[in-house]
Structure 1
């Protein structure tokens, strides 16, 4: 069975019940690099739940990742998280996703 609980990643909630355009705008304005993340992309063994492709962002100097996830729990919708990057996370995103210029 695919792992789909984003709470296992830890991190800080930046936005809750966000629209995809709000997520993308935040990621563009607040990160050094942006990549298009698609539904079911696997990150640290977690298959990402998303209503549609959105942006994930990298904060290189702070070693943070800004990542959207759609929670199935009522009232949450799409949540934008800031998580601590672990060794290999930036490379996994860079090699697995398309960079947005």
Structure 2
């Protein structure tokens, strides 16, 4: 089985080479619904590389997920991706992560 990479999720990079705090602030500002994602959480068969728990945001009307990830490669660091979400993706996040939004 081929190794799955976060780049295979498609979507676009919203933030690149930022701090976890910058990612969390962005998610809080742009999503009404967000959850705490621990390092190592598996999303679409990809283990999320994070240095510490970070926020993952759901944009229900747009059917998008704002997904944090840390690439160990130089020049990348912590990033925030916006990817198109399937209903199953939203359900996975809602049922497995702690909701922090109102």
Question: How many Å separate the matches in 2 of 1:5 and 1:99?
Answer: 26
Question: How many Å separate the matches in 2 of 1:38 and 1:3?
Answer: 21
Displacement of 1:91 in angstroms is 0.3
SS in 2 for 1:69: strand
Q: What is the alpha-carbon root mean square deviation over aligned residues?
A: 1.5
Question: How many Å separate the matches in 1 of 2:62 and 2:75?
Answer: 30
- Scaled by the length of structure 1, the TM-score of the pair is 0.94
Kindly tell me the number of residue pairs found equivalent between the two proteins: 101
Distance change >3 Å, CA 70–CA 4, structure 1 → 2:
farther
Any gaps of 5 or more consecutive residues in structure 1?
Answer: none
- Residue of structure 1 in register with 2:36 after alignment: 36
Any gaps of 5 or more consecutive residues in structure 2?
Answer: none
Displacement of 1:87 in angstroms is 3.1
Displacement of 1:2 in angstroms is 9.4
Question: How many Å separate the matches in 1 of 2:96 and 2:82?
Answer: 19
Establish whether residue 62 from structure 1 lines up as the match of residue 57 from structure 2.
Answer: no
Displacement of 1:32 in angstroms is 1.8
Question: How many Å separate the matches in 2 of 1:3 and 1:96?
Answer: 23
- Residue of structure 2 in register with 1:17 after alignment: 17
- Scaled by the length of structure 2, the TM-score of the pair is 0.93
